[in-house]
Amino acid sequence: MNELPSIRNFLSKYFPVFMGAIFASIFTLVFAVPLFFESYFRSLPLADNTKYSFFGGIALTLIVVHCHFMVARGRPHWVRPLVVLLALCFLGVLPTIAYEVHPLTYAVTLLFPLLALLLLNSKRHREMRQKLLEVRHLRQAVIAKHKAR
């Protein structure tokens, strides 16, 4: 990458897949966390179930947002915690079919982590991570050159 890419070209090419991965990750949490608490912690009162589900969802959302922010800053290895979180959501929801969950809810809850993983593994997302890494290296070179003065 010898020349700086146009921001408009970069965004038109990579922004949809980046935002798609973010939204698929967030929707994974929106569906998986309440289903997880509702299925596995049936003995909890509704108020406690709702409270734990809410705070657990908020904490996991902060992790997802932080990981995507770090990817946007040119640190592609931050995709790994996202993959682990999405896989855990998928594997945590998979056995809930035994708790007589509504089939549509179950299907959507399994669809979103798979969609997010598909987007994170797509060629375009991998290209975007590589370009963002190159931009980070250019940014660090400019900062080092400026500090050397």
DSSP collapsed to 3 states, the chain: CCCCCCHHHHHHHHHHHHHHHHHHHHHHHHHHHHHHHHHHCCCCCHHHHHHHHHHHHHHHHHHHHHHHHHHHCCCHHHHHHHHHHHHHHHHHHHHHHHHCCCHHHHHHHHHHHHHHHHHHCCHHHHHHHHHHHHHHHHHHHHHHHHHHC
pTM: 0.88
Split at pLDDT 50, 70, 90, the class of 6 is confident
pLDDT of 5 reads 61
Split at pLDDT 50, 70, 90, the class of 1 is very low
Let me know: does 60 contact 121? Beta carbons within 8 Å. no
Kindly report, residue by residue over 65-107, the tens digit of the pLDDT: 999 999 999 999 999 999 999 999 999 999 999 988 999 999 9
pLDDT of 144 reads 92
Query: How many angstroms separate the CA atoms of 10 and 71, rounded?
Result: 15
Instruction: Please determine, for residue 4, whether its predicted confidence score (pLDDT) is greater than 70.
Output: no
Kindly report, residue by residue over 19-73, the tens digit of the pLDDT: 999 999 999 999 999 999 999 998 999 999 999 999 999 999 999 999 999 999 9
**Category of 6 on φ-ψ map: left (φ > 0), alpha (ψ -120 to 50) or beta:** beta
Domain ranges of the chain: 7-148
pLDDT of 2 reads 54
CA angle 48, 94, 83 (to 5 degrees): 90
pLDDT of 3 reads 61
Let me know: does 56 contact 64? Beta carbons within 8 Å. no
- What's the whole-number mean pLDDT along residues 97-122? 95
Helices 46-72 and 7-40 meet at what angle, rounded to 10? 160
Instruction: Please determine, for residue 118, whether its predicted confidence score (pLDDT) is greater than 80.
Output: yes
pLDDT of 149 reads 82
